Amino acid sequence: MEATIQALGVRKAFGTRTVLDGIDLEVPAGSIAAVLGPNGAGKTTLLNILSTLVAPDAGTVTVNGHDLARDPSAIRESISVTGQAAAVDEVLTGEENVTMMGRLNGLNRAEARRRSRELLESFDLADAARQRVVTFSGGMRRRLDLALSLVATPPVIFLDEPTTGLDTRSRRALWQTIHGLRTDGATILLTTQYLEEADELADDVTLIDGGRVVASGSPGELKAQVGETVVELKTHDGELLAAVPTDGTLPGLRAAINQLEERAAPGAAVSLRSPTLDDVFLHLTDPAAGQATTQKAFS
């Protein structure tokens, strides 16, 4: 069966700056896919192209069986998009925002009001329903933004860094929501900077950097490449001397510590941590460096 979201050789340049340099992506129906990458990797541009906001310079895209070049408006009927900026109307109340979006999605007044009550209730915004959004906190805005995206129930959902700026509790609640949407039959594509998030949510992860796909696979497959645990060697004032990925087993740890032996400075301390996006990313873009030493390349 054809994948619900398919991109083939997608390119986009703004002026002389190439943002996407031939991206291939396939998301099977009913799955959650994560596009993982650092700031400026082209994640948002890719999402803007898939959601009809930006036309690609080259390549083909189909979403829910509709071709982007031929029938973007059919794609718009199949998708819902939550962008990075909270696209809410600050002057209106929370309730007015959701009701307006309901009306713009073809609900009649009564349906729109009912849907608004449901969504505000489930996103924990019922108490603030009659307050103007300008008085909302960042987390409340983000939740309202998501509620607005979920007024309609299209089969494909795009989320651009959905949990950036949320506290841990809200982030976990949102993860549950996203799992729930998949259970509901939706196909979901999200972007994120956090390996942990991709790990928690995604069936498949596509790692991109500099507008290219660096790697793709299940979160387990990706992490297996850098190991389960990273052994770090730091000086007593916290400067990183070396970091070695391991598989977390005793022989693995022993081998790692042996590797660190030669770099040990007086007073240096060893600690263990989980792999981060930095590790996966550096390992995949520069495998040699990943094997031996991982330096903080970006934060």
Partner 1 sequence: MSTTNTTTPQPQTTLGPGRRPGRRRPAPGVADAVLIGRSVRHSLRDVETMLMAVLLPVMLMLMFTYVFGGAISAGGTIAQDGGYVDYVVPGIILTCAGFGASSAAVDTATDMANGIIDRFRTMPMRSSAVLTGHTVASLARNLVATAVVILVALLVGFRPSAGPAQWLAAAGLVALYILAITTLFTAIGVVAGSPQAASGYGFVLLFLPYLSSAFVPVETMPGWLQPIAEYQPITAVNESLRALLMGTDPGWYGPAAVAWCIGIGAIGVIWGAAAFRRRAGRR
Number of residues forming the site for partner 1 (CB under 8 A): 56
Q: Nearest distance from residue 205's CB to partner 1, in Å?
A: 21
Alpha-carbon distance of 57 to 109, in angstroms, equals 41
Dist. CA 179–CA 188, nearest whole Å:
10
- Please report whether residue 16 would count as binding partner 1 according to CB under 8 A: no
CA distance 157 to 217: 20
Q: Which of residues 266-295 bind partner 1 (CB under 8 A)?
A: none
Q: Does residue 76 belong to the site contacting partner 1 (CB under 8 A)?
A: yes
Q: How many CB atoms lie within 10 A of CB 257?
A: 15
Binding mask 114-153 for partner 1 (x = CB under 8 A): ----xx-xxx--------x--------------xxxx-xx
Question: φ and ψ at 273, to 5 degrees?
Answer: -150, 170
For partner 1, the closer CB: 115 or 283: 115
Q: What is the DSSP letter of 108?
A: -
Applying CB under 8 A, which part among 35-43, 182-190, 199-207, 273-281 lies near partner 1? 182-190
Strand partners, 192: 36
**72 vs 55: CA distance, rounded Å:** 10
Return all residues near 243 (Cβ < 8 A) that are at least 6 apart: 230, 231, 232, 233, 279, 293, 294, 295
Within residues 19-48, the interface with partner 1 by CB under 8 A covers: 30, 48
- In terms of CB distance, is 115 or 223 closer to partner 1? 115
Closer CB to partner 1, 158 or 281, in the complex: 158
Closest CA to 291 of 250, 259, 249: 259
Contact code string over 228-247 relative to partner 1, x by CB under 8 A: --------------------
Backbone angles phi and psi of 189, in degrees to 5: -120, 125
Q: Report in angstroms how near the CB of residue 263 gets to partner 1 at its nearest.
A: 44
180 binds partner 1 (CB under 8 A): yes
Q: 51, 206, 246, 294: which one contacts partner 1 (CB under 8 A)?
A: 51
Q: Identify the bridge partners of residue 273 per DSSP, sorted by sequence position.
A: 230
Q: Under the rule (CB under 8 A), what is the footprint of partner 1?
A: 14, 30, 48, 51-55, 73, 76-81, 83-89, 91-92, 96, 100, 103-107, 118-119, 121-123, 132, 147-150, 152-155, 172-173, 176-177, 179-181, 183-186
